[in-house]
């Protein structure tokens, strides 16, 4: 079957857009082919800085013929109806229609309309221009004389030519004829901009890739990446160094060249005095070059790897020399920034924060720092951190935002703070907390484990969460401009991996106190007019709870579910635990969820769950029937059957044992206590008729069922558990 080859040859496509564009091209064209009945065998798209290409294999030469049956009027219908039918079906006379029978309708005419499939090449000639016109570039532009007219073609950068070839492997393929934005399709492309700019006629994919490779263009970005990586590693290895790998940089570098040539350059050793990360970021961000390290010490060496786009006549000497000069200038800028940063103590930067607004309603950065400091001090005892160090770290943790290096490279925030703190002789725990207080930044980021870091990292996130909740700026749908979901997940991971014991509502209220102490008008107003700074903690606690409802706690529950689901846990178990009264200790909640999960994996667990659900179902129905709940303890004197007496006893024992176990935070034991309930529940349902004729007896038994439900709530709300 024939193959299709498309190439869009343009001016330089931004590296970051290339992978997505290749995907979009493949999907848009192949979707349209399938829609048109042209089911293909395979498709692969490629991108280079100057071209976007697509090869589709095994496309049928024609669309399949389609037969369509059209029901007409009944035999003997008025002439007008018959004429209308003939016209719409394109028939000359009734002889061309069949007659079919239907028990209801009787005999009626049916026209069989055959839709002949068209040659695939014609269909493709219609599809491609439409795809080009609607191509979803993140940003596209007009150009040239044609841009004077409305409706001019847009593309990511000026589009110069289009190759569109269709045909079987063994024959001469045909050009798919079309024209879009004044560009006529053809079979001509061009090689490398500098090394082989001549026109090339191409015939099919294999031929295309091969001819372009001869013309110094490697069409497949994955191959360009492989070449860069392999050669970079070789060059490094040959000198006894190791490449600092960087997948993002590799993809970008491969998107900036059609013919990768890997070269090594050197910079002055003196620059190694500034932190490795500053060197790496400077060289990576500004020059798109890789850095190398000494495999023994893991420290950077004074070398870098650059990826050029040409095989230069002098073997790359001028290119290396040029890049070395640029990198020297960049590193001397960075050194200047770093050294001048070191001249200012971190605390001396703080007054400037008074003039920087963090959020219009939440005050300045300075106010934020004060609150974080206050909250970190309050959290310190919970995580066994030194209060003084937690305060100090919190006070200094944002200071590096005003340093020159972080101004130049925002991604170095925190890290530079640590270096500057060390340089001014801060305690090691303080310096580390400054770096780590942003962590964990994402689901894969390491979680700080040092107590001072934990205290400041928690305080930073909780202050933000509580503030935005108080002013009702919550994430909605995909909008989360202040990254509150990430902050909540960060709190969860900090708590769980360090076993931090804290009540969420208590901590939220401590954070709220910080805002009230600053007399933040928005938070004060939100908490209610009777609420004034300095009021009782319990009152704040109550008003915060009233303000956000269970909102922020539920937000955490949702984040926790996401987190546990990713670890393979059941999200319904989180609900089953969270919906119990007063559950706001994340660490205990998770331990309970884990114990519950293990319990439900046992026979005892599954059966008890079934029994509890059965009890709940019966209760629901009967409560509805009677219009009231069956609350209160059953009357012992009315217990008649041995199974119900046994159940009553078992419930009492299980409840007491489970409560005691929960009190010891021994959830496994609590589950074990519940497990003892199971035989009694099973026997009860086996032998005892709940809906006895005797009304008093029935009521008493329903109360007993209610006791099962109540008893299981010692460990979880079984009604929230699925299955």
Partner 1 sequence: MTDSGTPPHMRPDRSFQALILTLQRFWADYGCVILQPYDMEVGAGTFHPATTLRALGPKPWNAAYVQPSRRPKDGRYGENPNRLQHYYQYQVILKPSPPDIQDLYLKSLAAIGIDAGLHDIRFVEDDWESPTLGAWGLGWECWCDGMEVSQFTYFQQVAGFECAPVSGELTYGLERLAMYVQGVDRVYDLNFNGREGAQKVTYGDVFLQAEQEYSRHNFEHADTAMLFEQFKMAEAACRKYLDVGWQKNETGSEKKERHLMALPAYDQCIKASHVFNLLDARGVISVTERQSYILRVRELAKACGAAWLATEAGGAG
User: By CB under 8 A, is residue 16 in contact with partner 1?
Assistant: yes
Nearest CA to 673 out of 714, 633, 632, 703 is that of: 714
Q: Which stretch binds partner 1 (CB under 8 A): 122-130, 148-156, 548-556, 593-601?
A: 148-156
Nearest-approach distance from CB 541 to partner 1, in angstroms: 36
Q: Which residues of 585-624 are buried (b: 16+ CB within 10 A; e: fewer)?
A: bbbbbbbbbbbbbebbeeebbebbbbbbbebbebbeebee
Residues linked to residue 195 through DSSP beta bridges, in sequence order: none
The whole-angstrom separation of Cα 350 and Cα 340 is 17
- Of 32, 57, 118, 142, the residue at the interface with partner 1 (CB under 8 A) is 142
Nearest-approach distance from CB 318 to partner 1, in angstroms: 5
User: By CB under 8 A, is residue 246 in contact with partner 1?
Assistant: no
Residue ranges of alpha helices (H) inside 240-307 are 247-254, 276-281, 287
Using CB under 8 A as the binding criterion, the count of chain residues that bind partner 1 stands at 49
Q: What are phi and psi of 226, to 5 degrees?
A: -60, -45
Residue 324 CB-density burial (10 A; 0-12 exposed, 13-18 middle, 19+ buried): middle
In the bound state with partner 1, the residue whose beta carbon lies nearer, of 14 and 533, is: 14
The whole-angstrom separation of Cα 626 and Cα 316 is 91
Nearest-approach distance from CB 457 to partner 1, in angstroms: 28
Residues linked to residue 42 through DSSP beta bridges, in sequence order: 57
User: By CB under 8 A, is residue 98 in contact with partner 1?
Assistant: no
In the bound state with partner 1, the residue whose beta carbon lies nearer, of 189 and 548, is: 189
**Could you give the C-alpha distances from 308 to 214, 256, 257, 329, in angstroms and in order?**
18, 9, 7, 19
User: By CB under 8 A, is residue 696 in contact with partner 1?
Assistant: no
Provide the mask over 424-453, with x wherever binding to partner 1 is found by CB under 8 A and - wherever it is not. ------------------------------
The whole-angstrom separation of Cα 153 and Cα 175 is 22
Rg (the chain; Cα; Å): 36
Nearest-approach distance from CB 16 to partner 1, in angstroms: 7
Q: Which stretch binds partner 1 (CB under 8 A): 28-36, 155-163, 612-620, 667-675?
A: 155-163
The whole-angstrom separation of Cα 275 and Cα 416 is 9
Contact 128, 6 (CB under 8 A): yes
Positions in 566-585 near partner 1 (CB under 8 A): none
In the bound state with partner 1, the residue whose beta carbon lies nearer, of 11 and 100, is: 11
- Of 81, 230, 270, 329, the residue at the interface with partner 1 (CB under 8 A) is 329
Nearest-approach distance from CB 313 to partner 1, in angstroms: 5
Residues linked to residue 4 through DSSP beta bridges, in sequence order: 56, 166
Nearest-approach distance from CB 317 to partner 1, in angstroms: 9
Other C-beta atoms within 10 Å of 21: how many?
A: 20
The whole-angstrom separation of Cα 254 and Cα 258 is 8
- Of 12, 100, 169, 207, the residue at the interface with partner 1 (CB under 8 A) is 12
Q: Which three-class secondary structure string do you get for 138-182? A: CCCECCCHHHHCCCCCCECCCEEEEEEEEECCCCCCEECCCEECC
In the bound state with partner 1, the residue whose beta carbon lies nearer, of 351 and 355, is: 355
User: By CB under 8 A, is residue 55 in contact with partner 1?
Assistant: no
Residue bearing tokens 């199971």: 678
User: By CB under 8 A, is residue 410 in contact with partner 1?
Assistant: no
- Of 82, 243, 308, 405, the residue at the interface with partner 1 (CB under 8 A) is 308
Nearest-approach distance from CB 162 to partner 1, in angstroms: 15
Q: Which stretch binds partner 1 (CB under 8 A): 122-130, 309-317, 424-432, 631-639?
A: 309-317
Nearest-approach distance from CB 144 to partner 1, in angstroms: 5
3-state class of 647 per DSSP?
helix
User: By CB under 8 A, is residue 144 in contact with partner 1?
Assistant: yes
In the bound state with partner 1, the residue whose beta carbon lies nearer, of 42 and 410, is: 410
The whole-angstrom separation of Cα 488 and Cα 709 is 33
Contact 300, 427 (CB under 8 A): no
Q: Which three-class secondary structure string do you get for 73-128? A: EECCCCHHHHHHHHHHHCCCCHHHCEEEEECCCEEEEEEEEEECCCEHHHHHHHHH
Q: Which stretch binds partner 1 (CB under 8 A): 304-312, 387-395, 412-420, 695-703?
A: 304-312
Tokens of residue 26, six digits: 């493949």
In the bound state with partner 1, the residue whose beta carbon lies nearer, of 159 and 429, is: 159
User: By CB under 8 A, is residue 15 in contact with partner 1?
Assistant: yes
Q: What are phi and psi of 460, to 5 degrees?
A: -60, -45
Contact 419, 275 (CB under 8 A): yes
User: By CB under 8 A, is residue 310 in contact with partner 1?
Assistant: yes
- Of 203, 328, 613, 640, the residue at the interface with partner 1 (CB under 8 A) is 328
Nearest-approach distance from CB 138 to partner 1, in angstroms: 11
Q: Phi/psi class of residue 443: alpha, beta or left (left: φ > 0; alpha: ψ in -120 to 50)?
A: alpha
In the bound state with partner 1, the residue whose beta carbon lies nearer, of 314 and 686, is: 314
Tokens of residue 53, six digits: 């290409």
Q: Which stretch binds partner 1 (CB under 8 A): 153-161, 218-226, 393-401, 715-723?
A: 153-161
The whole-angstrom separation of Cα 687 and Cα 171 is 83
Tokens of residue 642, six digits: 């041995």
User: By CB under 8 A, is residue 139 in contact with partner 1?
Assistant: yes
Helices (H) and strands (E) in the chain — how many of each? 28, 18
In the bound state with partner 1, the residue whose beta carbon lies nearer, of 304 and 409, is: 304
In the bound state with partner 1, the residue whose beta carbon lies nearer, of 149 and 530, is: 149
User: By CB under 8 A, is residue 277 in contact with partner 1?
Assistant: no
User: By CB under 8 A, is residue 296 in contact with partner 1?
Assistant: no
User: By CB under 8 A, is residue 314 in contact with partner 1?
Assistant: yes
Contact 50, 157 (CB under 8 A): no
In the bound state with partner 1, the residue whose beta carbon lies nearer, of 90 and 144, is: 144
Nearest-approach distance from CB 275 to partner 1, in angstroms: 22
Nearest-approach distance from CB 333 to partner 1, in angstroms: 8
User: By CB under 8 A, is residue 313 in contact with partner 1?
Assistant: yes
Q: Which stretch binds partner 1 (CB under 8 A): 325-333, 582-590, 657-665, 696-704?
A: 325-333
Positions in 169-198 near partner 1 (CB under 8 A): 194
- Of 2, 49, 260, 490, the residue at the interface with partner 1 (CB under 8 A) is 49
Residue bearing tokens 């020159």: 404
Q: Which stretch binds partner 1 (CB under 8 A): 147-155, 235-243, 401-409, 500-508?
A: 147-155
User: By CB under 8 A, is residue 662 in contact with partner 1?
Assistant: no
Q: Which stretch binds partner 1 (CB under 8 A): 39-47, 306-314, 655-663, 696-704?
A: 306-314
Q: What are phi and psi of 187, to 5 degrees?
A: -130, 20
User: By CB under 8 A, is residue 20 in contact with partner 1?
Assistant: no
Q: Phi/psi class of residue 568: alpha, beta or left (left: φ > 0; alpha: ψ in -120 to 50)?
A: left
The whole-angstrom separation of Cα 251 and Cα 20 is 12
In the bound state with partner 1, the residue whose beta carbon lies nearer, of 263 and 278, is: 263
Nearest-approach distance from CB 274 to partner 1, in angstroms: 17
In the bound state with partner 1, the residue whose beta carbon lies nearer, of 312 and 423, is: 312
User: By CB under 8 A, is residue 620 in contact with partner 1?
Assistant: no
User: By CB under 8 A, is residue 149 in contact with partner 1?
Assistant: yes
| Interface ranges with partner 1 (CB under 8 A) | 11-12, 14-16, 49, 139-150, 156-158, 160, 194, 256-257, 287-289, 306, 308-310, 312-314, 318-319, 321-323, 325-329, 332, 355-357
């Amino acid at each position: 079957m024939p193959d299709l080859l498309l190439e869009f040859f343009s001016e330089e496509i931004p590296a970051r857009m290339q992978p997505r564009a290749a995907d979009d091209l493949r999907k848009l064209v192949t979707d349209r082919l399938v829609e048109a009945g042209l089911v293909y065998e395979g498709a692969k798209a490629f991108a280079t800085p100057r071209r976007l290409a697509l090869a589709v294999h095994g496309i049928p030469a024609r669309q399949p013929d389609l037969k369509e049956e059209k029901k007409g009027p009944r035999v003997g219908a008025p002439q007008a109806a018959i004429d209308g039918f003939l016209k719409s079906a394109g028939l000359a006379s009734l002889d061309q229609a069949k007659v079919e029978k239907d028990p209801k309708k009787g005999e009626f005419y049916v026209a069989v309309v055959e839709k002949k499939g068209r040659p695939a090449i014609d269909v493709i000639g219609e599809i491609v221009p439409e795809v080009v016109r609607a191509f979803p570039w993140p940003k596209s532009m007009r150009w040239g004389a044609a841009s004077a007219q409305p409706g001019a073609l847009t593309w990511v950068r000026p589009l110069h030519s289009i190759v569109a070839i269709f045909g079987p492997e063994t024959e001469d393929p045909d050009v798919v004829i079309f024209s879009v934005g004044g560009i006529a399709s053809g079979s001509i492309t061009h090689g490398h901009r500098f090394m082989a700019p001549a026109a090339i006629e191409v015939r099919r994919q294999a031929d295309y890739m091969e001819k372009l490779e001869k013309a110094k263009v490697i069409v497949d970005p994955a191959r360009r990446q492989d070449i860069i990586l392999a050669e970079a590693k070789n060059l490094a290895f040959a000198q006894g160094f190791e490449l600092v790998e960087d997948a993002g940089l590799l993809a970008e570098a491969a998107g900036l060249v059609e013919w990768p040539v890997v070269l090594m350059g050197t910079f002055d050793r003196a620059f190694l005095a500034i932190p490795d990360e500053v060197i790496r970021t400077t060289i990576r961000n500004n020059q798109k070059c890789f850095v190398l390290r000494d495999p023994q010490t893991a420290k950077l060496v004074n070398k870098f790897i650059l990826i050029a786009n040409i095989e230069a006549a002098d073997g790359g000497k001028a290119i290396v020399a040029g890049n070395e000069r640029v990198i020297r200038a960049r590193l001397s800028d960075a050194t200047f920034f770093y050294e001048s940063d070191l001249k200012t103590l971190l605390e001396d930067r703080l007054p400037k924060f008074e003039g920087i607004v963090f959020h219009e309603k939440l005050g300045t950065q300075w106010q934020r720092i004060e609150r974080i400091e206050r909250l970190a001090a309050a959290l310190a005892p919970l995580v066994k951190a030194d209060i003084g160090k937690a305060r100090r770290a919190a006070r200094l943790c944002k200071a590096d935002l005003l340093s020159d290096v972080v101004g130049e490279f925002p991604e170095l925030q925190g890290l530079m703070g640590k270096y500057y703190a060390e340089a001014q002789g801060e305690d090691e725990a303080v310096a580390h907390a400054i770096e780590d207080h942003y962590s964990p930044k994402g689901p894969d980021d390491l979680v700080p484990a040092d107590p001072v870091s934990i205290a400041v990292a928690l305080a930073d996130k909780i202050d933000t969460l509580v503030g935005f909740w108080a002013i009702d700026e919550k994430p909605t749908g995909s909008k989360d401009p202040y990254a509150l979901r990430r902050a909540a997940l960060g709190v969860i991971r900090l708590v769980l991996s360090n076993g931090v014991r804290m009540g969420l509502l208590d901590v939220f209220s401590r954070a709220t106190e910080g805002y009230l102490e600053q007399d933040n008008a928005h938070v004060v107003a939100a908490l209610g007019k009777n609420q004034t700074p300095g009021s009782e903690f319990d009152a704040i606690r109550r008003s915060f709870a009233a303000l956000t409802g269970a909102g922020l706690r539920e937000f955490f529950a949702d984040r926790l579910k996401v987190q546990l689901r990713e670890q393979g846990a059941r999200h319904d178990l989180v609900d089953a635990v969270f919906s119990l009264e007063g559950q706001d200790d994340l660490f205990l909640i998770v331990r309970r969820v884990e114990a519950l999960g293990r319990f439900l994996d046992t026979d005892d667990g599954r059966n008890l769950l079934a029994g509890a659900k059965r009890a709940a179902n019966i209760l629901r129905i009967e409560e509805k029937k009677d219009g009231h709940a069956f609350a209160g303890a059953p009357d012992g004197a009315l217990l008649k059957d041995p199974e119900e007496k046994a159940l009553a006893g078992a419930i009492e024992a299980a409840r007491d044992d489970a409560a005691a176990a929960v009190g010891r935070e021994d959830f496994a034991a609590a589950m074990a206590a519940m497990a003892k309930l199971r035989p009694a529940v099973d026997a009860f349902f086996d032998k005892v008729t709940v809906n006895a004729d005797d009304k008093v007896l029935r009521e008493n038994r329903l109360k007993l069922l209610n006791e099962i439900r109540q008893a299981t709530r010692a460990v979880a709300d079984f009604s929230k558990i699925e299955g």
